[in-house]
Amino acid sequence: MTSRTASCRCGQLKATVAGEPVRVSVCHCLNCKKRSGSAFAVQARWPKDHVRIEGESKTFVMVADSGNRGTFHFCPQCGSDVYYEIDGKFDDKFNELVAIPLGTFDDPYFVSPSFSVWEERRCDWVEISGDRVEHSH
């Protein structure tokens, strides 16, 4: 089974995943824009039992526009978000999954997104393309 490692900028906090992600998505919501510091964020998700975490993290918890609660784990030294978990109060499809920002992987080019969500908040100069990308507002 293939394994991949994601880490913070200083390397103290790491997430190693086994196998392929169950979902890869681009999100245009305001929280993801703030979290990534960009016009959107891209993340891949794995079942919790396919993810091994090493290092110390601090957490930040917030309720998203969807009503779901997210717990974001970041490095206390460099501040990088390395992974997050969603408590799907209103949508439980993400429960038991760990989301990892694609840019934190040693090789962030191993996969492409299949979903583009919260597109009503997409910057008008951004276009997410591809034959396999499902778009939702």
What CATH number does the domain containing 119 carry? 3.90.1590.10
Q: Give dist(CA 115, CA 100) in Å, integer.
A: 15
Span 88-117, pLDDT tens digits: 765 566 778 999 999 999 999 999 999 999
The answer as to whether 120 is a domain residue is yes
| 108: exposed, middle or buried (Cβ count in 10 Å: 0-12, 13-18, 19+) | middle
Number of domains in the chain: 1
The answer as to whether 22 is a domain residue is yes
The answer as to whether 63 is a domain residue is no
Which residues fall within 8 angstroms of residue 22, CB to CB, at 6 or more apart?
45, 46, 47, 97
The answer as to whether 43 is a domain residue is yes
pLDDT value of residue 65: 73
| pLDDT at 46 > cutoff 60 | yes
pLDDT value of residue 91: 59
The answer as to whether 113 is a domain residue is yes
The dihedral sign for the CA sequence 25, 87, 38, 8: negative
The answer as to whether 9 is a domain residue is yes
The answer as to whether 75 is a domain residue is no
Put simply, whether the predicted model's pTM sits higher than 0.85 gets the answer yes
Region 33-50: what's the mean pLDDT? 94
The answer as to whether 48 is a domain residue is yes
Q: For residue 34, what are the domain limits?
A: 3-56+96-135
